[in-house]
Amino acid sequence: MSHSINQNITPAGLLKFAAPSIIMMVFMSLYTIVDGIFISRFLGSNALSSLNIVYPVINVEIAISTMLGTGGNAIISKYLGEEKNERAREALTQFVVLALLLSLVLLLFSELFLTPISRFLGASDVLLADCRLYLGTSMLFAPACMLQAVFQSFLVTAGRPGLGLLLMTGAGIFNMILDYVLIVPCQMGIAGAALATGIGQCVPAVCGLCFFLFTRRELRFCRFTFSVKEMLDACYNGSSEMVSQLSNAVITFLFNIVMMSLAGEHGVAAITILLYGQFLFNAFYLGFSIGISPVIGFQYGAGNRVKLRKIYRISFLFVAVSSFVIVVSAVFFSPAIVTIFTKDQGTWELASVGFRLFSINFLFSGMNITSSGFFTALSNGKVSALISFCRTLVFIVISLLILPRIFGINGAWIAIPVAEFLTLLITGWMHRVYFLMPGERNYL
């Protein structure tokens, strides 16, 4: 495994190592989108609204597990680079046990307070039953959901990114099949949708547990004692990724308010399609960041600045070129992309025009996402969190509060591109300080 993340650094080799994580994240985003399509088409808008109302609770468990996965990954890969293999195994076991404990807390809390949570998140009398049913069913699988997320990162560090990809692909296909079977022939309604997702999450969760339990590789489960410092470091390092997940609910809520006032229900539907598109395209760079993270962490722990410089140059050249290709593709294929989600003429017209303006953000978001991931892998949680917090919350909120007042609906379409560009200015400054200027803080 050490050989796989200490390989000779070449563009093809680095991309080959990152490819499974990229495919895995894109695939995850696709089957999440498919879930929404099944619910909307077979159960109606009320069911989809119920899902959206309680989804912030799901976001919390995903955010916590992503934080533990990415933040813990930086610590584990650093130990491996320092040839502290036993410490790496202890850290791995600790983070998996911590994820399980936290998932059980979330499970118990949500099951005990289904109605108050649903009401707090905005469930009406009409939607309350579906909200309770979806949340209650889905949270029974909270341990599987959180283990699935942490194993995405840990399997890459264990030198088995292909296994992670295989498990996620299998889980996604299984979920899609069960969505249809449980919703349509079995007539289980929204509970069937939640059950399909939960059963799908069990596939990578159980297989990941078995892999780390029985493998003879360097990374495996072992006896350990809880280290508060390591837990805090993991939370700190992974805080940027957690912020990204938690901010999704806030931003969606704000967009809905703005678009309802500007274009009514068609506007809300249109922005939902655009946000789905953003989710899909950004998953590409999130997967790339996860894929290269162990390689960065290993070389950082080993103190190999020559290889770190090479990884840095290859990574950001790839991001710059691919960002341009993605923007051109998104603009060119925007009508086709929108058609996948809706046939409603009013929504289609708004979304197809909006997607062209909205797509400009992909020119900047890849650089911001990869930079945040790069700093996380270097155990610099402070800078990583700053970049993530600015791009996913601060600048978007400011843009949404100001731009629609000046430019109307076009101001809403360009809110995220403006936020990503402003974040890029901060990202560029951090690159100057930590990668380009000579000095003690320079990692390269």
Tens of pLDDT, residue by residue over 372-427, are 888 888 878 788 888 888 888 889 999 989 999 999 899 999 999 999 999 999 99
Whole-number mean pLDDT of the chain? 83
CB 25 within 8 A of CB 290: yes
Is 444 domain-assigned?
Answer: no
d(CA 343, CA 32): 20
Backbone angles phi, psi at 95, to 5 degrees: -70, -35
Number of domains in the chain: 1
Taking residue 190's Cβ as centre, other Cβ atoms within 10 Å add up to 25
Alpha helices in 113-160 (DSSP H): 114-120, 125-139, 142-157
d(CA 21, CA 164): 8
Greater confidence, 236 or 435?
Answer: 435
Is 374 domain-assigned?
Answer: yes
- Expressed as residue numbers, the domain containing 77 is 2-436
Give 68's pLDDT tier (boundaries 50, 70, 90). confident
Is 20 domain-assigned?
Answer: yes
Q: What is the DSSP letter of 391?
A: I
This prediction has a pTM of 0.70
Q: What is the pLDDT of residue 329?
A: 86
Q: What is the pLDDT of residue 241?
A: 65
Q: What is the pLDDT of residue 22?
A: 82
Alpha carbon separation from 213 to 5, 96, 147, 208 (Å, rounded): 21, 11, 14, 8
Is 442 domain-assigned?
Answer: no
pLDDT digits (tens, 9 = 90+) for 214-265: 888 778 888 887 888 888 888 777 776 677 677 776 777 777 678 767 876 6
pLDDT digits (tens, 9 = 90+) for 71-104: 888 788 888 878 888 888 888 889 999 999 999 9
Q: Is pLDDT at 2 greater than 60 in this prediction?
A: no
Give 281's pLDDT tier (boundaries 50, 70, 90). confident
CB 434 within 8 A of CB 442: yes
Is 135 domain-assigned?
Answer: yes
Is 443 domain-assigned?
Answer: no
Is 274 domain-assigned?
Answer: yes
Alpha carbon 172 to its chain's center: 15
